[in-house]
Chain A
Amino acid sequence: MTIAVVMIVMEGKSLNTLERSLLDSSPLAQQLDPRGKIVVAVFFSMLVAMVHSIAAAAFALAAALVLTLCLGLPLVLVAGRLLRANFFIMFLWFFLPLSGQGEILARLGPLAVHYDGLRLAGLVTLKSNAILLVFVSLIATSPFFVLGHALGALGMPRKLVQLLLFTYRYLHVMEQEYRRLRDAMAVRAFRPRTNMHTYRTYGYFLGMLLVRSFARAERVQQAMQCRGFNGRFHSLRNFRYSLADGLLVLAFAVISIGVVSI
């Protein structure tokens, strides 16, 4: 959790802006039942992850793209998401072609560009983008807490669902606590350097974050007990499948057959 907070703060954005962007962008995607979306996204990504042929991966990517277009997601936002992920994939294009073993396409001094390395880099790129597109279209378009309840409805153990929902709820509070602590350090002229003082300060910092989270957890538990909590969560939510969900599942069944048979 702390790592997640640190990563978010490094990105220089607050959690709200991160998750807001895609959420309200597609009314159609929001109408789909979150259970169906989760099942389709998970099944599709598992299938695509196991694919070995370039043609099948390309087909999967094309299908994912069609889905994105059909749902009417704003392409600028989607491209932004893909760009960030592809930044990491870019490194594969530097290293994989140089580390293959098969046919040599070109030589750059002592280095050799191998065909199978190049092919692997291409395959990874196609596959990851296909999976990313489906997740952006189906998962990022549901509010987090709805996904949590949907996972519960799909049979995920109740404790795990609660852990997920609590993490979501208090990540923001921890982020605020983190910012307060960081500001408290900054106003007393703390600047990180490579020395013992910095390491010790970071140690105190993380320790304090942990202690505060623990105290917070205790108070939350008390608040729950005051409202008659006895270990069982009652849900208000009833999910309902509609025609659109049927179409989504059907479409992905056909796509899956296509991916497998290519």
Chain B
Amino acid sequence: MQADIVVDLNQVSFGYDVNRPILKELNFQLRRGEKVGLIGYNGSGKTTFFQVLMGLARPVSGEMRILGRHITSDQDFVAVRQRVGLLFQDADDQLFCPTVLEDVTFGPLNLGKSPEQARAIAARVLDDLGLAGFENRVTHELSGGEKKLVSLATVLAMDPEILLLDEPTNGLDEATRETIIAVLSRPEFTSVVISHEFDFLGRLTNRIVSMRHGHLVEEDAEAIHSHYHVHRFGDYPHEHSP
């Protein structure tokens, strides 16, 4: 079903230095409603891949179609950014306004919403994430988990069709993780999630790809599975070697 493909990358390469490309001739298709996990070692190019999808880093070669639109110019990316939400790895990069309300309304106001509409959107999104009443909190005083949830709120306030999440649950407490999983599991979101936490990926995603030396590899040979086991420190988020 060609119409279902929302992201289509054909032989896309990226690198700051021509001789040392970071992303090498990537081919990647994302279908509407799909939830894809992206794994890979540090420095393998996962974050750069997201930057290319958002137009923050321009590919040196290859073809990109996002949401049915052929992407060639900066103008195309401006349109894409309104429909694709990127959650940054470090919440301090994402939250730059003094208060939570200002940060969450920043996107909607940029999209031309009136202050009243923006406030209403912020109230709805914050309530959705269990952050009702956080409007006038000062962003830098929030806890790590709260910062992450508010970052997610700023992305959801744009009403995106596709979510790109860079290690959304890294180091978070159990309650915040559950909130994030519950929201991301909703069928209306198409998402790509970078994570090292296999239990999280197993619960959320239905397809895993891995980044290896600048190539995207479909991990269909290995199936995500679950089994119960017991060991010390089992209450903490952790991963097992394959």
Given contacts A145-B98, A165-B98, contact A223 B93 (CB under 8 A): yes
Are B140 and A173 touching (Cβ within 8 A)?
A: yes
Are A226 and B56 touching (Cβ within 8 A)?
A: yes
Stretch of A1-9, A77-85, A180-188, A214-222 with 4 or more beta carbons under 8 angstroms from chain B: A214-222
Q: In the complex, what distance in Å separates the CA atom of A88 from the CA atom of B97? A: 35
Q: In the complex, what distance in Å separates the CA atom of A228 from the CA atom of B118? A: 14
Are A236 and B139 touching (Cβ within 8 A)?
A: no
Contacts of B51 in A (CB 8 A): 222
Proximity string of chain A (9-21) to chain B, C-beta cutoff 8 Å, 1 when within and 0 when not: 0000000100000
Q: In chain B between 124 and 164, which residues have their CB closer than 8 angstroms to a CB of chain A?
A: 138-141, 154-155, 158
Q: Nearest residue in B to A226 (C-beta to C-beta)?
A: B86
Does A193 count as interface, using CB distance less than 8 angstroms? Answer: no
Count B interface residues, CB 8 Å: 35
Given contacts A220-B93, A228-B81, contact A234 B56 (CB under 8 A): no
Q: In chain B between 193 and 222, which residues have their CB closer than 8 angstroms to a CB of chain A?
A: none
Q: In the complex, what distance in Å separates the CA atom of A180 from the CA atom of B141? A: 18
Are B88 and A223 touching (Cβ within 8 A)?
A: yes
Q: Nearest residue in B to A165 (C-beta to C-beta)?
A: B98
Does B105 count as interface, using CB distance less than 8 angstroms? Answer: yes
Contacts of A144 in B (CB 8 A): 98
- Majority DSSP secondary structure for residues of B touching A: helix
Are B102 and A227 touching (Cβ within 8 A)?
A: no
Stretch of B109-117, B170-178, B223-231, B233-241 with 4 or more beta carbons under 8 angstroms from chain A: B109-117
Given contacts A165-B98, A223-B93, contact A228 B111 (CB under 8 A): yes
Given contacts A169-B140, A223-B88, A236-B101, contact A228 B96 (CB under 8 A): no
Q: In the complex, what distance in Å separates the CA atom of A230 from the CA atom of B109? A: 11
Q: In the complex, what distance in Å separates the CA atom of A143 from the CA atom of B139? A: 13
Q: In chain A between 19 and 73, which residues have their CB closer than 8 angstroms to a CB of chain B?
A: none
Q: Closest CB of chain A to B241's CB: distance in Å?
A: 29
Given contacts A173-B140, A220-B93, A222-B51, contact A227 B98 (CB under 8 A): no
15 A–B pairs (Cβ distance < 8 Å), ordered by A: A143-B138, A169-B140, A172-B140, A173-B92, A219-B93, A222-B51, A225-B81, A226-B81, A227-B110, A229-B110, A234-B106, A234-B109, A234-B115, A235-B115, A236-B115
Binding site for A on B (CB under 8 A): 51, 54, 56, 78, 81-82, 85-86, 88, 90, 92-94, 96-99, 101-102, 105-107, 109-111, 115, 118-119, 138-141, 154-155, 158
A170-B96, A173-B140, A216-B93 given; 6 more Cβ-contact pairs under 8 Å: A145-B98, A168-B98, A222-B54, A222-B93, A227-B110, A236-B105
